[in-house]
Chain A
Amino acid sequence: MALEDLRNEMETCRRCSACKFMPFEKVSGYQPVNVCPSISRYNFHTYSGGGRMVNGVALLEDRIGFSEKFIEVMYNCQVCGACDVSCKYAMDMEVIEPIYETRIKAVKEGHTSPDLDKVVNSLRKQGTMVPGARIKRGDWAAGLGLKDCTAEKVDVIYHAGCLTSFNKDMWKQAKSIVKLLQKADVDFGIAGEKETCCGGRAYQMGYQEDFLNQARKNMAMITKSGAKTLVTGCADGYHAFKVLYDKFDLKGDLEVLHVTEYLDNLIKAGKLTPKKRLDITVTYHDPCHLGRLGEPFIHWQGREVPGHIRIFEPRKEFRRGTYGVYEPPRAVLKSIPGLKLVEMGRIKEYAWCCGAGGGVSESNPDFSMWTALERVAEAEATEAQAITTACPWCVKNFNGAIKERGSNLKVFDVVELLARAV
């Protein structure tokens, strides 16, 4: 769907400003109330979901063009989807889709950011969104004796993802997952050196063709392997395989699960039992692409019924973030003896972003850090000892913010804590 096809969505914007705030039913005090990092940091309406709708239409009408300022505003947005959820509390219109499509149009017409071009060039040349990586993709699994899913039959493929593979600090997450899957006797394998980027972050940045190339490569490999289930430890990867591949009719029957969903199922089935006490108080950060953006894609084809109220034939369900993955990571945490989970002010569908998404960590590291600092402060206010999450990009950003802030908070991926308790 091109930006032109979303004109009616953008024109439905009522400029009510709800997209700047968390859903009003849930506001429980003066703060926290903001939900959009972009408007919160830059303050002009332009940076909000609503401002992006106005300017999307203006772009189609040539009232404005892809100027330097337009590109700056466009990329100072984590495509976190919070505006989409808050808007759709009351409205029947798409917000995040026009945001994606504006980027896709910009890239197609050659208006890109040099910082993001660099990342995508790395994808094109080395198959990774981590430019300049000096290690090899499969190094993290050296000596673990894991099955190669491209050569052996497995029930489950574990897709480690770019950041986990190419950033040694993240290897502990992958190793924890391996330990847990082995403990539960899961027949799984990895693609190792042959694993390639899911393409999700390229899509977020507007490089749709690069995303599609990656998606096709991945699905060819997965189909050939015969595996029916893919597990990912990365929220971006989860969103790509589960939502985006489906959006482009590439997913087929593949079952895509985030590792927290998979582990939650194993715990509930009695195949994994956390026994060791971990006396720790933690809070949990919902990654945007696992939470509100992680709900299944809804295929719909039909038409808007002409009339004085926007209804559709057949009935159209909007994706509103209602069915994202919120409970499984919490259930995994709660299964750990001694662990106490305390919640932050903004959670689940209206969680504040970690700051890393949409290419912001590459194109504007200061804004990315600013966003993460706000989340770390919110986590500190819960008096938790650690912030837990379920995505390596969030882990990386929080670690940076904690260092910057001089905070005592620790950061864990949920799987690390579970691996310690099992």
Chain B
Amino acid sequence: MALARDFYWSLEGILGAENVSEDPVVTESYSFPIRRKTMPDKVTYLPRFEAVALPASTAEVQAIVRLCNRHKVQYKASSTGWLYCDPVGPNCIKLDLRRMNRILEINEKGMYAAIEPYVVGAQLQAELMKRGLTCNQCGAGANCSVMPLASHVGLGHMSQSGSYTERNLLAVEWVTGDGEIVRLGSLGSHGDWFCGDGPGPSLRGIIRGNTTPLAGLGVFTAGAVKVYHWPGPAAWRVDGVCPKYTHPEMPPNFMIRYLSFKDIDDAFEAVRRVGEAEIGYTLMGFNAAMMASNIATDNQEDLDYLKRFAGQVQGVGFLLIIVGNSALDFDYKKRTLEQIMAETGAMSLKDVEDPVMGAGFAWRFIRITGSIRETSRATGWGGGTVGGSDVFPLMTRYILHTSHLKQQLIDQGLIMDDFTHPFIQSIEHGHTGHGEILIRYNPAGPDHIARVQGMLSREANKTAIEGRFGVPHHVWSDALHDMYGPNVGNYHLLLRKIKKNFDPGQASESSNYITAKEEK
């Protein structure tokens, strides 16, 4: 379905002809790219966007959104766009926010940074580190937007000490579904980014929800993120040539360990105590397979490391990075950890203790460069489900529930057997936790993806509901919200009202969020 000419010309008028294209060569490249031949049949291909637009400012975004509303054309925005960016129907254009890539402000005293959506994690983190600051960035990686509303839930490897989007999100600039510019928090009253809740309108719950609207509620054109103290170097030393980088020095007062436990209760107890003592900078319940992927520079090496690490772990484990603000502080934290390890029977993975290997692990986990290796390198097709976040003891049980599910898939030969458990992570020193099942597989047969993902989704939803694990962060469709809503105070009705009120024309394509369909 071609766009009406007056619509397209208006789009060109807003952006300049070179920043908009409806050529199939351009729109095709924004279509679902992964393993096409293995999809059941070509009918399942998602349609292309009708056009792709490259706005460079909030004013341009607003003009496009208003134009779309006038012409009843849908739009969908994304930044770096790792998956989840396709339209499910025709008559939808893409807003690629690539040109909105400025750091607007780093306020060292106010401890925040204001950014546009296309600033990626590596950029902001590097810029902050020069100033003795850092930020939590999305665990998906340094390649993803660091703007809290553009990076899914915003859980990251620093969430132990640096929380996640829900807490880190400050003021926001938002073009609503129908094209109004709303400035939230302090930005709405006197133009400063320091607070998301006032003075000025606080709509944090409205715009965020359990995850983020995944481009289904207008466009977030800028946002501020809380930043944290960084006691490390302005630049981590990285030698060698890609991907064989070496990291000859661990900075002073830094330590990394991978600890494993015979019993899940011991692991939980260790996490609880690390949290209680507030000694952890990073605490991620990674498994040995994720550790292997993180260090390996190819798949074969990945398997070699997995074999090697498997012999050095005794069960469920976690990665811990400890950072001291001074030698004394570091010493205290180190000794506290030693005591916790002794009392919980922790076994430390020796390779991670190695100063050079350890410095590499630490940097890759801090910069978050290993996620693509961990999730995508095996075959290009990874998968799984993003579980929920809830109190940490409950999420510990998530491992037991979901391990069973993962094993079923392995037994059927549908996914890779890496003989490890799904992972959970600790948030805010154990205040809450979050779990995910990440799997690796080759979708070899026509219905392979459908079988694996179907079973995973079914079972993961059952696990979440029956085990009361909180609403997973993979709930991104009408069908899922309608299923979860009645189990969770009918929140979906409220969410739908939000969608209707802030996007009355349904212009913001929201198949990955919730639509304003009428309730029966």
Which of A20, A92, A326 has its CB near the most chain B CB atoms (within 10 A)? A92
Q: Contacts of A86 on B, CB cut-off 8 Å?
A: 242
- Chain A min CB distance to B290 (Å): 13
Contact A92 B28 (CB under 8 A): no
Whole-angstrom CA separation of A326 from B126 in the bound complex:
25
Q: Contacts of A216 on B, CB cut-off 8 Å?
A: none
B260-288: CB near A (< 8 Å → 1, else 0) gives 00000000000000000000000000000
B112-123: CB near A (< 8 Å → 1, else 0) gives 000000011111
A100-113: CB near B (< 8 Å → 1, else 0) gives 00000000000000
Q: Is B142 an interface residue (CB 8 A)?
A: yes
Contact A13 B126 (CB under 8 A): no
Determine which of B35, B36, B99 lies in contact with A61 in the assembled complex, contact meaning CB atoms within 8 Å: B36
Q: Which size bracket describes the interface of A in this complex?
A: 35 or more
Question: Within residues 233 to 269 of chain B, which ones have a CB less than 8 A from any CB in chain A?
Answer: 235, 238, 241-245
Contact B235 A46 (CB under 8 A): no
Q: Contacts of A326 on B, CB cut-off 8 Å?
A: 241
Whole-angstrom CA separation of A86 from B379 in the bound complex:
18
Whole-angstrom CA separation of A7 from B25 in the bound complex:
18
- Chain A min CB distance to B164 (Å): 20
Contact A44 B242 (CB under 8 A): no
Q: Which residue of B lies closest to A7 (CB)?
A: B37
Q: Contacts of B119 on A, CB cut-off 8 Å?
A: 30
Whole-angstrom CA separation of A41 from B172 in the bound complex:
29
Determine which of B26, B369, B373 lies in contact with A44 in the assembled complex, contact meaning CB atoms within 8 Å: B26
Known: A29-B127, A51-B29. A85 touches B379 (CB 8 A): no
- Chain A min CB distance to B496 (Å): 30
- Chain A min CB distance to B107 (Å): 15
Contact B377 A350 (CB under 8 A): no
A2-42: CB near B (< 8 Å → 1, else 0) gives 00000100011111111011011111111101000000000
Contact B380 A91 (CB under 8 A): yes
- Chain B min CB distance to A16 (Å): 5
Q: Which residue of A lies closest to B127 (CB)?
A: A30
Question: Within residues 316 to 364 of chain A, which ones have a CB less than 8 A from any CB in chain B?
Answer: 316-318, 320-324, 326, 348-350
Q: Which residue of B lies closest to A88 (CB)?
A: B243
Contact B96 A44 (CB under 8 A): yes
Q: Is A308 an interface residue (CB 8 A)?
A: yes
Whole-angstrom CA separation of A57 from B235 in the bound complex:
40
Known: A27-B126, A315-B300. A15 touches B33 (CB 8 A): yes
Contact A46 B25 (CB under 8 A): yes
Q: Contacts of B81 on A, CB cut-off 8 Å?
A: 15, 17, 45
Contact B298 A25 (CB under 8 A): no
Q: Contacts of B376 on A, CB cut-off 8 Å?
A: 14, 16, 90-91
Q: Is A53 an interface residue (CB 8 A)?
A: yes
Determine which of A11, A30, A33, A64 lies in contact with B28 in the assembled complex, contact meaning CB atoms within 8 Å: A64
- Chain B min CB distance to A249 (Å): 25
Q: Is A298 an interface residue (CB 8 A)?
A: no
Contact B122 A45 (CB under 8 A): no
Q: Contacts of A309 on B, CB cut-off 8 Å?
A: 299, 302-303, 378-379, 416, 440, 442
Determine which of A16, A63, A311 lies in contact with B303 in the assembled complex, contact meaning CB atoms within 8 Å: A311
Contact A21 B143 (CB under 8 A): yes
Q: Is A310 an interface residue (CB 8 A)?
A: yes
Q: Is B21 an interface residue (CB 8 A)?
A: yes
Whole-angstrom CA separation of A53 from B33 in the bound complex:
8
Q: Is B500 an interface residue (CB 8 A)?
A: no
B362-383: CB near A (< 8 Å → 1, else 0) gives 0110011110110111111010
Q: Which size bracket describes the interface of B in this complex?
A: 35 or more
Whole-angstrom CA separation of A13 from B83 in the bound complex:
11
Q: Which residue of A lies closest to B124 (CB)?
A: A30
Q: Contacts of A315 on B, CB cut-off 8 Å?
A: 300
Binds B, one of A66-74, A199-207, A276-284, A394-402: A66-74
Contact A91 B242 (CB under 8 A): no
Contact A64 B36 (CB under 8 A): no
Whole-angstrom CA separation of A31 from B126 in the bound complex:
10
Contact A13 B25 (CB under 8 A): no
Question: Within residues 91 to 126 of chain A, which ones have a CB less than 8 A from any CB in chain B?
Answer: 91-93
Contact A350 B242 (CB under 8 A): yes
Whole-angstrom CA separation of A396 from B124 in the bound complex:
36
- Chain A min CB distance to B448 (Å): 10
Whole-angstrom CA separation of A323 from B244 in the bound complex:
10
Contact B377 A91 (CB under 8 A): yes
B130-162: CB near A (< 8 Å → 1, else 0) gives 100000000001110000000000000000000
- Chain B min CB distance to A310 (Å): 5
- Chain A min CB distance to B392 (Å): 30
Q: Is B19 an interface residue (CB 8 A)?
A: yes
Contact B34 A89 (CB under 8 A): no
Q: Is B403 an interface residue (CB 8 A)?
A: no
- Chain B min CB distance to A366 (Å): 12
Q: Contacts of A349 on B, CB cut-off 8 Å?
A: 241-242
Whole-angstrom CA separation of A204 from B303 in the bound complex:
35
Q: Contacts of B300 on A, CB cut-off 8 Å?
A: 311-312, 315-316
Q: Contacts of A321 on B, CB cut-off 8 Å?
A: 241-242
Which of A14, A93, A312 has its CB near the most chain B CB atoms (within 10 A)? A14
Q: Which residue of B lies closest to A86 (CB)?
A: B242
Q: Contacts of B141 on A, CB cut-off 8 Å?
A: 16, 24
Q: Is B103 an interface residue (CB 8 A)?
A: yes
Contact A25 B373 (CB under 8 A): no
Determine which of B80, B83, B98, B126 lies in contact with A30 in the assembled complex, contact meaning CB atoms within 8 Å: B126
Whole-angstrom CA separation of A316 from B80 in the bound complex:
30
Q: Which residue of A lies closest to B410 (CB)?
A: A308
- Chain B min CB distance to A39 (Å): 8
Q: Is B318 an interface residue (CB 8 A)?
A: no
Q: Which residue of B lies closest to A11 (CB)?
A: B35
Determine which of A27, A31, A50 lies in contact with B142 in the assembled complex, contact meaning CB atoms within 8 Å: A27
Q: Is B52 an interface residue (CB 8 A)?
A: yes
B187-204: CB near A (< 8 Å → 1, else 0) gives 000000000000000000
Known: A23-B242, A309-B378, A321-B242. A54 touches B299 (CB 8 A): no
Known: A17-B82, A24-B122, A30-B127. A307 touches B303 (CB 8 A): no
List 13 other contacts, CB 8 Å, given A29-B126, A70-B25, A306-B444.
Answer: A15-B34, A16-B141, A27-B126, A43-B98, A46-B26, A46-B30, A69-B24, A309-B303, A310-B380, A310-B442, A320-B243, A322-B244, A326-B241
**B-side interface residues toward A, CB under 8 Å?**
19, 21, 23-26, 28-31, 33-38, 52, 54, 80-83, 96, 98-99, 103, 119-124, 126-127, 130, 141-143, 235, 238, 241-245, 297-300, 302-303, 363-364, 367-370, 372-373, 375-380, 382, 415-416, 440-442, 444
Instruction: Report the 8 A-B pairs with minimum CB-CB distance, sorted nearest first.
Output: A12-B380, A308-B416, A90-B372, A46-B29, A24-B142, A51-B29, A27-B122, A14-B376
Show 14 A/B contacts (Cβ-Cβ < 8 Å), sorted by A.
Answer: A7-B37, A25-B364, A28-B126, A29-B126, A44-B26, A45-B29, A46-B29, A51-B29, A88-B242, A306-B444, A308-B415, A310-B379, A310-B442, A322-B242
